[in-house]
A = this chain, B = another copy of it.
């Protein structure tokens, strides 16, 4: 236990990630460090305060009372810092501009709406909009000046474009509780041969299940579309077909036994989400704030998502 405090913001960021992920390795990804680095950080904090901060609970790890105190501190402090940094952005006059968002992933409306509300409060002078309609090459819209931000899963390096990684998530098959396939723990391409696939109204090459699982296996199920996630789930529940949706998008419905979810393929079907912008847009303070807030709310709200390098 040394005399002057060794605590730094890095520790607070780590502690928050630890609470959100419940695991040292996942937290490490979240803050872009190795598991070892976090273990060392935790150890040094524990030695400094003469208290244990985490408690091993079998496979994973849990915060002690002391750890919770520090997390409470972290939440307060990091929030205050963000607010101050917004204030600094105001001072540097880089406080206005436009943020027109193209959303490739329909389910993302779930978390984007509250985020946009919060953002509007913090940056009243930024023109915030959702660009509606379907776009075959949304990133092109950035170059053409038709949009400022694309939230999508395509990650092609392009000159002048920056892809900010958001998170990785699993896409699960969604079935009615009484569906014949309920018996299987894991579904494979062949299981989809005789079902109707319920999707958002987008082309086939935008649907990961079709693109990466069914098409390679030569399987082409019937398709039926719906605009909203709830609508899709209603169709699934009333046995009109099966769907493939992000695990976090269906969690509530699964928890209430409205539908059931199954893994697709032994490894599962995963998808990555990026926020793409023009290089010049990336340096604007409000874009930086949008990104960190997006990451924070996603990791705090959505279950089962994984940080992305």
- A residues near B, CB below 8 A? 1, 3-5, 7-10, 49-51, 65-66, 69-70, 72-73, 76-77, 80-81, 84-85, 87-88, 91-92, 94, 282-283, 288, 291-292
Residue of B nearest to A70 (CB): B84
Chosen A-B contacts, 23 in total, with CB atoms closer than 8 Å, are A1-B283, A3-B282, A3-B288, A4-B292, A5-B81, A5-B85, A7-B9, A7-B81, A8-B9, A8-B10, A49-B92, A50-B94, A51-B88, A51-B91, A66-B88, A66-B91, A69-B88, A69-B91, A70-B84, A72-B84, A73-B80, A77-B80, A77-B81
* Contact B81 A69, beta carbon cutoff 8 Å: no
Separation of A76 and B79 alpha carbons in the complex (Å): 12
* Contact B288 A51, beta carbon cutoff 8 Å: no
Separation of A200 and B81 alpha carbons in the complex (Å): 48
* Contact A88 B9, beta carbon cutoff 8 Å: no
**Copies of this protein chain in the complex:** 2
- Residue in contact with A81 in the complex, picked from B3, B73, B288, CB distance below 8 Å: B73
Contacts of A7 in B (CB 8 A): 9, 81, 85
Separation of A104 and B69 alpha carbons in the complex (Å): 38
Contacts of A8 in B (CB 8 A): 8-10
5 cross-chain pairs, A with B, having the tightest CB-CB distances, nearest first = A73-B84, A51-B92, A77-B77, A8-B9, A69-B87
Contacts of A80 in B (CB 8 A): 73, 76-77
Contacts of A66 in B (CB 8 A): 88, 91-92
Residue of B nearest to A3 (CB): B288
Given pairs A3-B288, A69-B87, A73-B80, 20 additional interface contacts (CB within 8 A): A1-B283, A3-B282, A3-B283, A5-B81, A5-B85, A7-B85, A8-B9, A8-B10, A50-B92, A50-B94, A66-B88, A66-B91, A66-B92, A69-B84, A69-B88, A69-B91, A70-B88, A73-B81, A76-B80, A77-B80
Contacts of A292 in B (CB 8 A): 4
* Contact A49 B88, beta carbon cutoff 8 Å: yes
In the assembled complex, the CB of A276 is this many whole angstroms from the nearest CB of chain B, namely 14
Separation of A84 and B51 alpha carbons in the complex (Å): 13
Separation of A12 and B50 alpha carbons in the complex (Å): 25
Of residues A7, A80, A88, A291, which shows the largest number of chain B Cβ atoms within 10 Å of its Cβ?
Answer: A88
Separation of A77 and B83 alpha carbons in the complex (Å): 12
Separation of A81 and B88 alpha carbons in the complex (Å): 23
In the assembled complex, the CB of A108 is this many whole angstroms from the nearest CB of chain B, namely 22
Separation of A300 and B171 alpha carbons in the complex (Å): 57
